[in-house]
Amino acid sequence: MYRYSLSRLVRHALSDRPWPRAWREAKPRSHYDVLIIGGGGHGLATAYYLAANHGMDRVAVVERAHIGAGNVGRNTTLVRSNYMMKGNTEFFEFSLKLWEGLSHELNFNVMLSQRGQIVLAHSPAQMDALARRGNIMRLNGIDAELLERAEVRRLLPYLDYSAAARFPVLGGLLQGRAGTVRHDAVAWGYARAADSLGVDIIEGCEVTGFLQDRSGVHGVETGRGRILADRVAIAVAGHSSHVAGLAGLRLPIESHLLQAFVTEPIKPFVNHVISFGAELFYISQSDKGGLVFGGHIDGFNSYTQRGQFPKVRQVAECAVALIPGMSRLKLLRHWAGIQDMTPDGGPFVCRTPIRHLYLNGGWCYQGFKATPAVGWCLAATIARDEEHPLVRCYALDRFARGAESLDEYGHGHWPYRH
Amino acid sequence: MLAIHCPLCGERPYTEFRYGGDASKRRPALGTMAPEAWHDYLFLFDNPKGPHREFWQHDQGCRQWLLVVRDTATNAVGEVILARNAGAGAGEGPGGR
Ligand SMILES: Cc1cc2nc3c(=O)[nH]c(=O)nc-3n(C[C@H](O)[C@H](O)[C@H](O)COP(=O)(O)OP(=O)(O)OC[C@H]3O[C@@H](n4cnc5c(N)ncnc54)[C@H](O)[C@@H]3O)c2cc1C
Ligand SMILES: [Zn+2]
């Protein structure tokens, strides 16, 4: 790998020699040990850890479009580990720990910014719920700090603390190690590091079918021909149902739209990640100065990748209810991504009923922060043909077994309510 | 914006309606003992990219449950009928019969 370093930076600044490509343009070979469908953060991370942790170098990632075109480049970049359901707590903390070393691991600055996330409470019952969540986190060795109203006010002086505030702020829960990561850098960093270990990254190559018989899956049909593989993993985010359907699987997943928004850039203002407690609404400020925020999914199945306007208004109302000073900012851009919603809001990282076919999907709102741990655990699951302990709770048959719930908010089994 | 043509109230913005999910499922007959039948009914979805039969309730209008066919790839709304007229083949709404 052409390593990035300060001396290289200086040398390139002083010469007009261009930087080399970050990864090769690979052509599909006829056979691989492992083939991963989907070149998002999850697929690329999995390929990287297959090579780095398990010494597998005959690995391919096949991506329909180009690297970064999917949700890895559309999310609001929040990373945190303030989960309280058993299974989630340990998994997301493992992921956050991997984030903390990732720039060095990949020799690529992913710009992790641990600016802290504050979840707000607007009622005594919410304060109790946050205290409980914080206690569970601390029992698991995760940092959490319950804040009173005055402490929130000191950290976030720009919220609405007036007597007229529609949802008065009573306090909040701070996770200081939570923050944001530059999402594109995650895709590029994993792609470059995987490529340097021999992984083929094949862009512009859509999987259209599986080669399978009674003994399992043996490869895929693609727009660029047939590719044989001993093991195949699905990591296609919003399209899991569709791709798994090509192999004859029906999943506990519905595809829904989530929108995100960015305002015009302003000077540093919001120095944390903030989650509103009265509605699903979260906000942070990017390094370029834009306020980045989002809310709920649109609320009905959709593959249009184009959000509905009433959601824009609702999210803007949340923004202004929380931070009145935002009312005069202009929205610069907004967009939508297709995400897999599941009956309990939890994902699937597992083997499937079809031999040699592995599934990673159902990530709902939360897959970006999971990227390094998904890669780590899915790679181990594929290499050993057995679920990594941290993802045993994310099995496909958990509803049939009546396994312990992963439902953090108790919404019930309707995917569109998570 | 998505609009739904309510058979009773005419074309209205989707924000007047409450989504009720996939309407292509059929609830197993009461007394069905096989857990797989209930599992599939509750938890598995066809999730098509294309025409999707789904329930919506016109809860800020006539309050009727409707059966809507909408293309999930384009949002184009096709046929809309009252769910109660959909017949047994339509499955049953979230509230049951
Ligand atoms: C608006 C929005 C905001 C979000 N905010 C956050 C957040 O703040 N924090 C967080 O943790 N998570 C967030 N998420 C969720 C997170 O982005 C996703 O869960 C995660 O990115 C999914 O994994 P991925 O990166 O591998 O997906 P993707 O980048 O979508 O990768 C999947 C890839 O599969 C490819 N593909 C699909 N079908 C095929 C095929 N047939 N053949 C070949 N390739 C195929 C697609 O082109 C795509 O590139 C957000 C999501 C959205 C939409
Ligand atoms: Zn009506």
Q: Smallest CA–CA separation between B1 and chain A, in Å?
A: 6
Q: What is the mean pLDDT of residues A298-306?
A: 94
Q: What per-residue confidence (pLDDT) applies to B96?
A: 40
Q: What per-residue confidence (pLDDT) applies to A334?
A: 94
Q: What is the mean pLDDT of residues A55-82?
A: 96
Number of helices and strands (H, E) in chain A?
10, 18
Q: What per-residue confidence (pLDDT) applies to A113?
A: 98
Q: Which CATH class is domain A112-179+255-341+410-416?
A: alpha beta
Range list of β-strands (E), B31-83: 51-57, 65-71, 77-82
Output the CA A374–ligand 2 centroid distance in Å.
45
Q: Smallest CA–CA separation between A308 and chain B, in Å?
A: 6
pLDDT at A19 over 90: yes
User: Does the distance separating the beta carbons of A250 and B46 come in below 8 Å?
Assistant: yes
Q: What per-residue confidence (pLDDT) applies to A412?
A: 79
**What is the CB-side half-sphere exposure of residue A95 using CA atoms within 13 A?**
31
Q: Is B52 on the interface with A (CB under 8 A)?
A: yes
CB A372 within 8 A of CB A45: yes
pLDDT digits (tens, 9 = 90+) for A107-141: 999 999 999 999 999 999 999 999 999 999 999 99
Q: Is B46 on the interface with A (CB under 8 A)?
A: yes
A27-78+183-253+344-409 falls under which CATH superfamily?
Answer: FAD/NAD(P)-binding domain (3.50.50.60)
Output the CA B94–ligand 2 centroid distance in Å.
18
Q: What per-residue confidence (pLDDT) applies to A165?
A: 93
Report domain extents, chain B.
3-28+36-88
* Ligand 1 site, residue A274, Cβ cutoff 6 A: no
pLDDT at B4 over 70: yes
Backbone angles phi, psi at B47, to 5 degrees: 50, 55
pLDDT digits (tens, 9 = 90+) for A240-296: 999 999 999 999 999 999 999 999 999 999 999 999 999 999 999 999 999 999 999
User: Does the distance separating the beta carbons of B73 and A303 come in below 8 Å?
Assistant: yes
A413 pLDDT tier (thresholds 50, 70, 90): confident
* Ligand 1 site, residue A359, Cβ cutoff 6 A: no
Q: What per-residue confidence (pLDDT) applies to A84?
A: 95
Q: What per-residue confidence (pLDDT) applies to B73?
A: 96
CB A174 within 8 A of CB A147: yes
Domain with CATH 3.30.9.10 in chain A: 112-179+255-341+410-416
A259 CA closest ligand 1 atom index = 1
B91 pLDDT tier (thresholds 50, 70, 90): very low
**Concatenated DSSP letters of A72-93:** GGTS--EE-----STTHHHHHH
Percent of chain A with pLDDT over 70: 100
Q: Does the predicted model carry a pTM greater than 0.90?
A: yes
Q: Which ligand is nearest to the CA of B13?
A: 2
User: Does the distance separating the beta carbons of A301 and B54 come in below 8 Å?
Assistant: yes
Q: What per-residue confidence (pLDDT) applies to B93?
A: 44
Taking contacts as CB-CB distances below 8 angstroms, the residues of chain A near B43 are: 252, 343, 399-400, 413
Domain B3-28+36-88: which CATH number of 2.40.128.50, 3.30.2270.10, 1.10.3470.10, 3.30.470.20: 3.30.2270.10
Q: Which among B1, B39, B45 has the least Cβ separation from residue A241?
A: B45
Q: Smallest CA–CA separation between A116 and chain B, in Å?
A: 35
B86 pLDDT tier (thresholds 50, 70, 90): confident
Taking contacts as CB-CB distances below 8 angstroms, the residues of chain B near A300 are: 2, 14, 19, 54, 70
Q: What per-residue confidence (pLDDT) applies to A247?
A: 98
Taking contacts as CB-CB distances below 8 angstroms, the residues of chain A near B47 are: 241-242, 251, 253-255, 301
Q: Which residue in chain A has the smallest CA separation from B39?
A: A400
A66 pLDDT tier (thresholds 50, 70, 90): very high
User: Does the distance separating the beta carbons of B39 and A400 come in below 8 Å?
Assistant: yes
- What's the whole-number average pLDDT of chain A? 96
The continuous run of DSSP H or E covering A379 comes out as helix A367-384
Nearest one of A74, A1, A72 to A39, comparing CA atoms: A72
- CA separation for the pair A403, A244 (Å, rounded): 23
CB A92 within 8 A of CB A81: yes
Provide the 3-class DSSP secondary structure of residue A46.
Answer: helix
Q: What per-residue confidence (pLDDT) applies to A202?
A: 98
- CA separation for the pair A45, A391 (Å, rounded): 16
Q: What per-residue confidence (pLDDT) applies to A242?
A: 97
- What's the whole-number average pLDDT of chain B? 90
pLDDT at A17 over 70: yes
Q: What per-residue confidence (pLDDT) applies to A418?
A: 79
Provide the 3-class DSSP secondary structure of residue A190.
Answer: helix
Q: Which among B43, B54, B70 has the least Cβ separation from residue A399?
A: B43
Output the CA A180–ligand 1 centroid distance in Å.
16
Q: What per-residue confidence (pLDDT) applies to B97?
A: 35
Q: What ipTM does this complex have?
A: 0.90
Amino acid letter, A33:
D
* Ligand 1 site, residue A295, Cβ cutoff 6 A: no
Q: Smallest CA–CA separation between A413 and chain B, in Å?
A: 7
Q: Which among B35, B44, B49 has the least Cβ separation from residue A251?
A: B44
Count residue pairs from A and B with Cβ separation < 8 A.
Answer: 68
Q: What is the mean pLDDT of residues B36-63?
A: 96
Q: What per-residue confidence (pLDDT) applies to A405?
A: 83
Helix A367-384 vs helix A183-196: crossing angle, to nearest 10: 20
Backbone angles phi, psi at A139, to 5 degrees: -60, -25
Domain with CATH 3.50.50.60 in chain A: 27-78+183-253+344-409
Backbone angles phi, psi at A19, to 5 degrees: -70, 145
Taking contacts as CB-CB distances below 8 angstroms, the residues of chain B near A302 are: 72, 75
pLDDT at B90 over 80: no
